[in-house]
Amino acid sequence: MNNFTEGQFDAVVIGAGHAGVEAALSLARTGFKTVMLTLNLDSIAFMACNPSIGGTAKGQIVREIDALGGEMGVAADNALLQIRTLNKGKGAAVQSLRGQEDKNLYHTLMKKTLENTPNLKIVQGEATEILTDGKKVLGVKTAVGGIFYCKTVVIATGVYLNGSVIAGEWKRSSGPNGFAPANELTASLISLGFNVRRFKTGTPARIDKRTIDFSVLEVQDGETDLFPFSYLHDGVPEKQTPCYLTYTNEKTHEIIRENLHRSPLYSGMIKGTGPRYCPSIEDKVVRFADKDRHQLFLEPEGADTNEIYVQGMSTSLPHDVQKAMYRTVKGLENCEIMRYAYAIEYDCIDSLDLYPSLEFKKIEGIFTAGQINGTSGYEEAAAQGLIAGLNASLKMRNMPPLVIPRDKGYIGVLIDDLVTKGTNEPYRMMTSRAEHRIVLRQDDADFRLTEIGRAAGLVSDERYERLLRRKEEYELATKELQTAIKPSESEGILSEFGFNRAQGGVAFADLIRRGIPLKVIKERFNILKGVSDRTLETVELDAKYSGYLEKEKEQIERAKKLEEKLIPEDFDYLSIKGLRIEARQKLDKIRPKNLGQAGRISGVSPADIAVLMVCLKK
């Protein structure tokens, strides 16, 4: 086959899933000539699994992507079927938005955005080889011999690398949803020095909504009194599509147990490691044998389709077992399956091979993002794509890389976990992974990150002006809430909410801390005129949790002292006899940037850090 030149570009993005989209947009919007290679134009920003954006901790990530100038939140708002806040009965730190999306519309909106972005060329083709001179990237070669010469590459291949779809005894080389796999690029990655391993994920069946008895199911409506994902938008649709709740039962579990020998999970056909926090239904039945039922959510795939996604019933059992199993569920007794469930195995890399910028340690100019890094989820992928794309852009501008600290965003927690701790299973973000989650709420992501996105060149004028208005409103509102009122003025509202009469003046902020809603205070005392409801939400939460926030800031400042103690890139860990052998080996492999990162490495103890501190002082 003859090779030929496709052209000279600043960057090539391999893959057009959620990571590839954000990477390509980050590069093109910051002025770099970019080409995005995809196996199929119809798979751009495709939701291969659940038709939703957000979820626990993921809602925070979407807001952070948006705050930095990304596109996921904008598209998600414009394709909404329904939106809700999860964990409403808990504190604000663990509350998260989840939007039910029209998956075809989401794909269409993202494709249109990409097609109309200056500096961006989209090409349908398969990348088969990364070209380098042994030290830095030179270009990308396709299956037909085309060569795209470039300065940087972002690899965002999702689950397509040597993808295999499996259901029961049936197995086929394939990407998700019948799309073609990428079977040649893995060999190139191995030759470059990447450590490759095999992970697994899966998806449930899609059933025909005309064959569901919705009358016996519990309705799950959306909410209209909340704010959307993007800070560029002010409201959500009044008319929303309901979802429905049902459950598995003992009959369902009996069918699964009787057919475990036919499950590729237990027969040995599946070799890859699956996600701990999103297990298949057969895995749930085995692992949680004491539970007599499991929740299932019936979610529409779009406004123009009868397909219903059965959230919570992912499986790789044979088709005949699936049909019997689904029909044991209340409301699904006569259901017809339109797309059967399956598992998919794919190649991914060891994320410990990456710098915190998501650049490959062994070859300059190669960045990776998304499921190739061992993560799961659209939101985690998009976040990495944005950061990888921005860092490729910053590299070409000779600017320092963007590394979000753990106390500034869930995106920082995600990437730090990947490059410091690594992952032996598909990584999923949860609020419990963030030690500073009370300062990482979803309402204030723009306060935390939009200035950073602006400095990196990605935040638009419109977005930045909105931030400045919000900050001005916030300062005025916060100052007004410090106003104290006389005991005679506060007596009525305190009594109404079960409090004794105050002995002295009480500030409005003190009333909030006692649990009185800001909305009631605002109406009762006619204050905070001209302040938007979105800003009032942040003002109220900051006032309510002010004591906790102050303590959290003190902990963050203490942690920063370790982050500021930098470790030379050529530091010789192996020669330090005071370190345990495991610590020496782990430190030498990961090569942390500072003492804070070193302390988060699995297998490195506080005693090891103390030894390091002494050596660094010397």
- Select from 487, 425, 513 the least CA-distant residue to 201: 425
Tell me what the mean pLDDT of segment 225-243 comes to: 96
Residue 287's Cβ-count burial label (10 Å; 0-12, 13-18, 19+) is: exposed
Domain 206-343 has CATH 2.30.30.60: no
Pinpoint the alpha helices (H) of 37-184.
Answer: 58-67, 72-78, 103-115
172: three-class secondary structure by DSSP: strand
Calpha distance 202→317 (Å, rounded): 11
pLDDT score at 279: 85
Q: Are 154 and 367 spatial neighbours (Cβ–Cβ below 8 Å)?
A: yes
Calpha distance 55→51 (Å, rounded): 12
Calpha distance 363→383 (Å, rounded): 22
Task: List the chain domain ranges.
Answer: 206-343, 461-556, 564-617
Model pLDDT for residues 134-145, shown as the tens digit of each residue: 999 999 999 999
CA atoms within 13 A on the CB side of 511: 32
Calpha distance 402→389 (Å, rounded): 10
What is the dihedral angle through the alpha carbons of 448, 452, 458, 462, rounded to the nearest 10 degrees? 50
Tell me what the mean pLDDT of segment 313-318 comes to: 95
Tell me what the mean pLDDT of segment 389-398 comes to: 98
461-556 against 564-617: fold identical: no
Beta strands in 161-286, from DSSP E residues, in sequence order = 164-167, 170-173, 196-203, 206-208, 218-220, 243-247
Beta strands in 437-583, from DSSP E residues, in sequence order = 484-485, 506-507
Residue 610's Cβ-count burial label (10 Å; 0-12, 13-18, 19+) is: exposed
Model pLDDT for residues 474-517, shown as the tens digit of each residue: 999 999 999 999 999 998 999 999 999 988 899 999 999 999 99
**Residue 334: Cβ within 10 Å count:** 11
Tell me what the mean pLDDT of segment 183-193 comes to: 97
pLDDT score at 442: 95
Identity at 569, one-letter amino acid code: E
Share of the chain above pLDDT 90, in %: 90
Pinpoint the alpha helices (H) of 100-230.
Answer: 103-115, 185-192
pLDDT score at 525: 95
Q: Are 474 and 443 spatial neighbours (Cβ–Cβ below 8 Å)?
A: no
Tokens of 581: 């052998």
- Select from 217, 234, 214 the least CA-distant residue to 226: 234
**For residue 399, what are the contacts with CB-CB under 8 A and spacing of at least 6?**
none
Q: Are 72 and 236 spatial neighbours (Cβ–Cβ below 8 Å)?
A: no
Tell me what the mean pLDDT of segment 588-616 comes to: 90
Identity at 196, one-letter amino acid code: V
- Select from 58, 76, 78, 74 the least CA-distant residue to 66: 74
Calpha distance 150→148 (Å, rounded): 6
Helix 378-396, helix 18-29: angle, nearest 10: 30
Mean pLDDT for the chain overall: 95
Tokens of 440: 């990482």
Tell me what the mean pLDDT of segment 540-568 comes to: 92
Model pLDDT for residues 268-296, shown as the tens digit of each residue: 777 777 777 678 999 999 999 999 999 99
pTM of structure: 0.95
Confidence check: pLDDT of 600 > 90: yes
Fold adopted by 564-617: DNA polymerase; domain 1 (1.10.150)
For the chain, state the CA radius of gyration: 26
Tell me what the mean pLDDT of segment 262-267 comes to: 83
Calpha distance 364→138 (Å, rounded): 10
Identity at 480, one-letter amino acid code: E
Calpha distance 127→36 (Å, rounded): 10
Q: Are 414 and 375 spatial neighbours (Cβ–Cβ below 8 Å)?
A: yes
Q: Which long-range contacts (CB under 8 A, 24 or more apart) does 86-95 make?
A: 86/55, 86/56, 86/59, 87/56, 91/438, 92/441, 92/443, 92/541, 92/544, 92/545, 93/431, 93/437, 93/438, 93/440, 93/441, 94/56, 94/431, 94/437, 95/441, 95/442
Calpha distance 531→284 (Å, rounded): 48
The sheet with strand 307-311 has its strands ordered as: 218-220, 243-247, 295-300, 307-311, 206-208, 337-339
Tell me what the mean pLDDT of segment 453-459 comes to: 98
CATH of 461-556, one of 3.40.50.300, 1.10.10.1800, 1.10.3720.10, 1.10.340.30: 1.10.10.1800
Tell me what the mean pLDDT of segment 6-19 comes to: 98
Calpha distance 237→222 (Å, rounded): 10
- Select from 53, 160, 35 the least CA-distant residue to 380: 53
Q: Is the dihedral of CA 307, 277, 175, 166 positive or negative?
A: negative
Calpha distance 466→474 (Å, rounded): 12
Tell me the pLDDT band of 265, cut-offs 50, 70 and 90.
confident
Confidence check: pLDDT of 424 > 80: yes
Pinpoint the alpha helices (H) of 343-482.
Answer: 378-396, 410-416, 445-455, 461-481
Calpha distance 417→434 (Å, rounded): 10
Share of the chain above pLDDT 70, in %: 100
pLDDT score at 569: 87
